[in-house]
Amino acid sequence: MLYTKGLDDPDEVEFVPPLQFEAQDGSLIEEIKGFRRIILARIGVLQTAADRLFMLNFLQSSTRWIDMGVFAAVHCVLADVAGFENLWLWETKLAPYYEVLLKENVIYQTWPDSLEPVETETLYIKTWVEITGTEASPQTLTTNAGALATDDTGAAYPAINLASWVVSVMLIERQDCLINRIGDVTQSGTDISFTVAHSDIGNAYSDGLFYAQVVIGLQAK
């Protein structure tokens, strides 16, 4: 990857939901719950067929991540789901590269903190978490309680103080329905809480329920 735009600075964002109403008196009312980063990634030059095939597989994958090694991995969706094409550096087919516009699959209310190199990050993974929250009625998850009583190893989550740790929460869908985090991570005693919801668009898992893999990353400030 040559560079990204919009990952570490608010170069472009999308407000969620982008709603504006006109009242009967003519005044305008806006309803914006948060925002997501719009990230431009420039990748290449990819001279081998294997690398270009990797790009195809990466872009059509339902679990797509960007890991620059400087920030926590970012879960993204395509800004344009219709397709993609490569570009030719110096107008020669021997130097193809790609400019891909992505939307982060997380909603923020404040700009996310910069993180230290990902090698210093400790991850806690819970592979199957049922997501009952909807866009109209989101669900709150708290470490060491309910669906997050333990991680996949059966161990309790550590005490987490947001004043001492930078926390990243990543959600990986287990079906073709997006799982969104709404708002920021908050302190709940010695644990953390965050709000999630499955999209109103898309299909449930084969048992009719919605699931996500929940990955919590911790980095010392």
Q: 82-140, pLDDT tens digit by residue? A: 888 888 876 777 778 888 899 888 788 887 765 444 445 688 999 899 999 998 999 99
User: Any idea which of 61-65, 152-156, 176-180, 215-219 has the lowest mean pLDDT?
Assistant: 61-65
For residue 211, is it within any domain?
A: yes
Question: 95 with 169, same domain?
Answer: no
Question: 10 with 100, same domain?
Answer: yes
Q: Which pLDDT band holds residue 38 (cuts at 50, 70, 90)?
A: very high
Question: 78 with 150, same domain?
Answer: no
Q: What is the pLDDT of residue 71?
A: 60
212 vs 128: CA distance, rounded Å:
6
Is the distance from CB of 101 to CB of 40 less than 8 angstroms?
Answer: yes
134 vs 34 pLDDT, higher one: 134
Question: 129 with 204, same domain?
Answer: yes
Question: 91 with 126, same domain?
Answer: no
Q: What is the pLDDT of residue 1?
A: 64
Domains identified in the chain, total number: 2
Question: 148 with 201, same domain?
Answer: yes
For residue 70, is it within any domain?
A: yes
Question: 141 with 88, same domain?
Answer: no
For residue 171, is it within any domain?
A: yes
> Domain boundary at 104, 137, 158, which?
104
For residue 109, is it within any domain?
A: no
Question: 212 with 186, same domain?
Answer: yes
For residue 216, is it within any domain?
A: yes
* Beta strands 13-16 and 34-44, pairing class: antiparallel
> Domain boundary at 61, 79, 104, which?
104
Q: What is the pLDDT of residue 119?
A: 45
Question: 140 with 215, same domain?
Answer: yes
Question: 140 with 79, same domain?
Answer: no
Q: What is the pLDDT of residue 117?
A: 41
Checking if the pLDDT of 69 tops 70, the result is no
> Domain boundary at 104, 130, 155, which?
104
pLDDT, average across residues 42-50:
82
pLDDT, average across residues 9-20:
85
Question: 90 with 144, same domain?
Answer: no
Percent of the chain, pLDDT > 70?
A: 92
For residue 85, is it within any domain?
A: yes
Q: What is the pLDDT of residue 109?
A: 80
Q: Which residues constitute the domain of residue 14?
A: 3-104
For residue 114, is it within any domain?
A: no
State which H helix or E strand residue 117 sits in. Answer: none
- In 3-state terms, what secondary structure has residue 199? coil
Mean pLDDT across the chain, nearest whole number? 84
Question: 201 with 146, same domain?
Answer: yes
Q: What is the pLDDT of residue 2?
A: 66
Q: 177-210, pLDDT tens digit by residue? A: 778 888 889 999 999 999 999 988 878 999 999 9
159 vs 189: CA distance, rounded Å:
9
For residue 212, is it within any domain?
A: yes
Phi, psi of 196 (to 5 degrees): -135, 160
